[in-house]
Structure 1
Amino acid sequence: MVTKRAKRKGARVVSAVSGSDGGQGMLIGERRQHVLKLVEKNGRVLVSELSSSLGISPITIRKDLDYLELQGQVQRTHGGALAPHKTTMLDPSLKDKEAHQTREKQLIAAAAAAMVQEGQCVLLDSGTTTTAIARELRRFKRLTIVTNALNIAAELIDTDFDVILVGGNLRKNAFSLVGPLAEDALRQIHADILFLGVDGFDVKSGIMTPSLLEARVNRVMAAASRKVVAVCDSTKFDRQSLALIIPPSAVQVVITDKNIAGAHVEALRSAGIEVVLVG
């Protein structure tokens, strides 16, 4: 009998220690702070992932997210929450951006490449998502690639593509070329399709970036292209930045992941924009 009680007691101890590693062993405030740190790090959280990792019910997670939304600390979406709507003037480096939403960017890049046909002229602006698209395009044989991104030109240096790198002033943190020289070169281009990366996408105002010079170059790219495709993961929506590139009316297609809020999808489609969801 002593042995059996010891075993049962030991089992209870193991269970308690296991719970302390997940959400069950956390105080409510600790759990909510944990959620906020994840939102700050990744730009979003999903109810299903939190429920699994913390070992607590989806209902409890939803209550936490509802509470945090009331405090203005997150923005609730279907299936999770995003960082709150805000205007940002931050201009993170290309290296910093590479660490975020990598799976989503790869899926977006594959969907973007599926829109391209052999022999077309493709415009790629600078950014990590457009860099992923450049890698996907390597499976083609005959393309003309026009870009203002040094790293994208380097990605394609060993292909048979015609790669046109516009001139201009170097934005070192973005590896991009901007300014009057870049704008003048792009005005001579007639592209079939532009894949435009996004720092912020407000469905009412449009696509934005923290760089005024980058915004000017991107605007000329859009004017030079028959089709404008915005490529951005769902964390970029409901975010504003310093400089407006183009309004939603200048965009024909948006490629994003399935964690975008349903209201945003509805607003985009109501504006006549085709929405491609991946993931």
Structure 2
Amino acid sequence: MTTPATAPKNSSGQRRSLIVEAIQKDGRVEVSELSSRFNVSEETIRRDLKTLEQAGQLLRAHGGAIPARPLIGNRSQTFRELSGANIACYALSLLPAQGTVFIGPGRLGESLASMLPNSSSLQVITNSIHVALEASNHPNLAVFNLGGTVDPTDGTQTGQWTREESQSLRLDISFIAPRGMSTDGYLTAPNPQLSSLLRTIIDVTDRTVILADQESLTNTGLVKVAALSSLSDVIIEPESAGYIRALLHGHDTLIHIADESPEYTS
């Protein structure tokens, strides 16, 4: 007689449905635990996970599986701008009262730069023309642009000049919005030049904060930058919480949820 928690050994459909339910509830499942629960071999469970991953219902991870990436669907531009503003607002709560701050390129970086306090105690450094212009609207801020080769599509600056300039920096905190993330939890960049620069920035920073909206989490990018689990903090939208919590399970990265309350931290 089958207990409520155990699927019949020959019922692959029911077993896979229960696996999906378990991931949605717990955020992660382990192959060994599923093998014991359903009284089947670990190889059978691995085949189940592969089938479910191909169906877009989960992502296989070392020793088990985690929830599938959040989908952005047909989210409107207005909704994306609002979510970006929420993430930027939360980032402000992590900003030190004084010190050196790096803000990376992209929509989230520009949004954060536009909200910075007009303080002479902060020095802002960036490799983005657009971020520099936004930050320069605060006349008391000291704003420094790293220079380098300009990408005409988004105003990002990279190259040997930019990387060499960044190597001599010492940064208190960096805010980086990745262009994408690999399925194994690495931040990614669209080209080797930007990837190399961001790795250097991370190396010279005391605290690196990742600004990750759902759009960046659903892109894959071309070149890996760093493992999310190796960084200090990540700020995400509520819709991404289950996915990121499962991805960072067992690691020390602080997860902050950018909802209506900046004080809410996980």
Question: Shared topology, TM-score over 0.5?
Answer: yes
Q: Could you tell me which residue of structure 2 aligns to residue 104 of structure 1? A: 83
CA distance in 1, matches of 2:87, 2:96: 17
1:237, distance to aligned residue in structure 2 (A): 2.3
Q: Is the contact between residue 183 and residue 217 of structure 1 (CA under 8 Å) also seen in structure 2?
A: yes
Q: Could you tell me which residue of structure 2 aligns to residue 64 of structure 1? A: none
Aligned-partner SS, 2:239: coil
Q: Which moved more, 1:188-197 or 1:136-145?
A: 136-145
CA distance in 2, matches of 1:104, 1:72: 28
User: When the two structures are superposed, what TM-score results if normalisation uses the length of structure 1?
Assistant: 0.63
Q: Is the contact between residue 203 and residue 237 of structure 1 (CA under 8 Å) also seen in structure 2?
A: no
CA distance in 2, matches of 1:214, 1:129: 17
User: When the two structures are superposed, what TM-score results if normalisation uses the length of structure 2?
Assistant: 0.66
- Structure 2 residue identity aligned to 1:127: G
Q: Residues 63-212 of structure 1 correspond to what in structure 2 (within 5 A)?
A: 72=55, 82=71, 101-158=80-137, 159-202=139-182, 204-212=184-192
Q: Is the contact between residue 150 and residue 176 of structure 1 (CA under 8 Å) also seen in structure 2?
A: yes
1:100, distance to aligned residue in structure 2 (A): 6.7
- Structure 2 residue identity aligned to 1:160: N
1:239, distance to aligned residue in structure 2 (A): 3.7
1:129, distance to aligned residue in structure 2 (A): 0.2
Q: Greater helix percent: which structure?
A: 1
1:250, distance to aligned residue in structure 2 (A): 2.9
Q: Which moved more, 1:210-219 or 1:266-275?
A: 266-275
Match of 2:211 among 231, 243, 261: 231
Q: Could you tell me which residue of structure 2 aligns to residue 253 of structure 1? A: 233
- Structure 2 residue identity aligned to 1:112: A
- The higher radius of gyration belongs to 1
CA distance in 2, matches of 1:70, 1:250: 26
Q: Residues 257-276 of structure 1 correspond to what in structure 2 (within 5 A)?
A: 257-260=237-240, 262-276=242-256
Q: Could you tell me which residue of structure 1 aligns to residue 15 of structure 2? A: none
Q: Is the contact between residue 70 and residue 243 of structure 2 (CA under 8 Å) also seen in structure 1?
A: no
RMSD between superposed Cα atoms in Å: 2.9
Q: Could you tell me which residue of structure 2 aligns to residue 222 of structure 1? A: 202
CA distance in 2, matches of 1:81, 1:193: 28
1:138, distance to aligned residue in structure 2 (A): 3.2
CA distance in 1, matches of 2:250, 2:53: 29
Q: Is the contact between residue 200 and residue 241 of structure 1 (CA under 8 Å) also seen in structure 2?
A: yes
Q: Kindly, what percent of the aligned residue pairs are identical?
A: 17
CA distance in 2, matches of 1:98, 1:235: 11
Aligned length, in residue pairs: 198
